[in-house]
Structure 1
Amino acid sequence: MNPPKHMHQSEPVRRRYLLQLVCVPDPQRETCTYAARIRPWTARTGAQHKARERSFADDCALIAAVNPLLPPGSDVRDIFDHIESPNGFFYVLQLTSQQAQQLGWRE
């Protein structure tokens, strides 16, 4: 199968990833630590990958890492209430392997 004509050989390959942004409570400091849990997105439930996790020093570090990867007009600051809820917030993003590694993914 030939690649679509609009794709160039120099463009990095993108893959879908499921990104969960969560706030992990830290009872000792009475705060939370922001974390990103990432795994390849699969349509089949049998093909599960273990999620990898990256913790962030603070909300500013989370914003700096995630916002450049979001679609135009999206801002992670708009969903902090959801991130701090028990289930966190989920995105399905098209990322290069380098972008996924920045969020904690390792093969």
Structure 2
Amino acid sequence: MSSAERKPDPSPVRRRYIVHLFCVPEDGCASCRYIARICPWAARYGVHAETCERAFADECELIATINPLLPSGSDVRDVFLHIESPKGFYYILNLTNREARLLGWSV
């Protein structure tokens, strides 16, 4: 079959990203601001890629944005204790360009 006869692949191209979810305490109150930091995943240690961030208005916006990007059966609410810990929580996700932009990716 020639390349002209091949049907285009309807699935969007996905790229692997590291998504770091963490919480920054807000001054003077018990709540915190949720942040997603995203960068392309690198197979080699020491390769530093550009990082982008997105701040969420509240935990509801974080949940509504992250959950559709997770594998079936996963729920970001299950890791909130980790997100709110000093180190935060890391996901490695295969995302389309549009999905990565939802998390702040703009490069």
- TM-score normalised over the length of structure 1: 0.88
**What is the distance in 1 between the residues matched to 2:79 and 2:46?**
30
Deviating beyond 3 angstroms after TM superposition, the runs of 4 or more aligned structure 1 residues are none
Uncovered stretches (5+) of structure 2, i.e. residues with no partner: 1-7
1:106 aligns with 2:102: no
Taking the aligned partners of 2:37 and 2:49, their CA distance within structure 1 comes to 12
Distance in 2 between residues matched to 1:96 and 1:45, nearest whole Å: 24
1:11 lines up with 2:11 in the alignment: yes
Secondary structure class of the residue paired with 1:35:
strand
Q: Offset of 1:45 from its aligned partner?
A: 2.5
Larger fraction in strand:
1
Deviation at 1:28, TM superposition (A): 3.4
TM-score (norm 2): 0.88
Equivalent residue runs for 1:1-107 within 5 Å? 9-107=9-107
C-alpha separation in 1, matches of 2:36 and 2:25: 14
Larger Rg: 2
Percentage of identical aligned residues: 56
Q: Secondary structure at the match of 2:64?
A: helix
SS in 2 for 1:53: strand
